[in-house]
C-alpha cells in the first residue's frame, strides 16, 4: 500500500489544533480570573457601601470615615470599569481563539477524510490486483494445450 502523501501535513495540522486548544484554554482561564477579580471588587464595593450607609444611620456621623469610604468606593468603581474593559477584551480574544480552533479542527478533519479516501482506494486497488492475480493463476492452472 502506498503511504498517504499528506501524512506530514496532517501531523502538522494536528499540532496546530493542539496549540489552538491550548490557546483557547489559556484565554478561558484569563477570562475566569478576570471574572473572579470583578466579583471580588464588587463584594468590596458592597461592603464599603454598607459601611457608608451604617454611618449615615447612626446618631454621630464620623465625617472623616465617611469621606474615606466614599473615596475608596470611587477607587473601586474605577477598578470595576478597568476590569469590565479587560473582560470585554478577554471575551473578544476567547472568540478569536474559538474561531481559530474551529478552523484548525476543520482542516484536520478534511485531511483525515482525504486519508480515509486514500486508504479505501488503496484497499480497492489491492483487492482488484489480488483478483486479477488469482484469475491468472486459475487460468494458467486450468489451461489445456
Would you state the pLDDT for residue 85?
97
pTM: 0.76
Other CB atoms closer than 10 Å to residue 101's CB: what's the count? 20
According to the model, what pLDDT value does residue 145 have?
Answer: 57
**In 3D, which of 132, 130, 35 has the Cα closest to residue 84?**
35
Residue ranges per structural domain of the chain: 7-139
Sign of the CA dihedral 105, 106, 112, 115? negative
Q: 77, 66, 87: which is closest to 41 by C-alpha?
A: 77
Residue 68: predicted pLDDT: 87
C-alpha cell of residue 105: 479542527
Q: In tens digits, what is the pLDDT along the chain, a chain of 145 residues? A: 788 888 999 999 999 999 999 999 999 999 999 999 999 999 999 998 888 888 777 777 778 888 888 899 999 999 999 999 999 999 999 999 999 999 999 999 999 999 999 999 999 998 999 998 888 887 877 766 5
- From CA 122, how far away is CA 132, in angstroms rounded? 15
Angstrom distance (rounded) from CA 81 to CA 36: 14
What CATH fold (topology level) applies to the domain 7-139?
Answer: Helix Hairpins (1.10.287)
Amino acid at each position: 500500500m502506498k503511504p498517504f502523501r499528506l501524512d506530514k501535513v496532517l501531523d502538522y495540522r494536528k499540532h496546530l489544533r493542539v496549540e489552538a486548544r491550548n490557546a483557547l484554554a489559556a484565554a478561558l482561564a484569563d477570562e475566569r480570573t478576570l471574572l473572579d477579580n470583578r466579583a471580588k471588587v464588587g463584594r468590596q464595593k458592597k461592603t464599603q457601601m454598607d459601611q457608608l450607609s451604617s454611618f449615615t444611620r447612626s446618631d454621630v456621623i464620623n465625617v472623616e470615615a465617611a469621606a474615606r469610604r466614599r473615596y475608596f468606593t470611587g477607587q473601586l468603581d474605577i477598578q470595576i470599569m478597568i476590569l469590565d474593559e479587560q473582560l470585554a477584551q478577554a471575551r473578544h480574544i476567547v472568540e478569536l481563539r474559538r474561531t481559530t480552533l474551529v478552523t484548525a479542527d476543520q482542516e484536520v478533519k478534511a485531511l483525515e477524510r482525504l486519508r480515509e479516501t486514500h486508504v479505501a482506494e488503496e484497499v480497492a486497488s489491492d483487492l482488484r490486483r489480488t483478483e486479477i492475480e488469482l484469475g491468472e493463476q486459475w487460468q494458467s492452472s486450468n489451461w489445456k494445450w
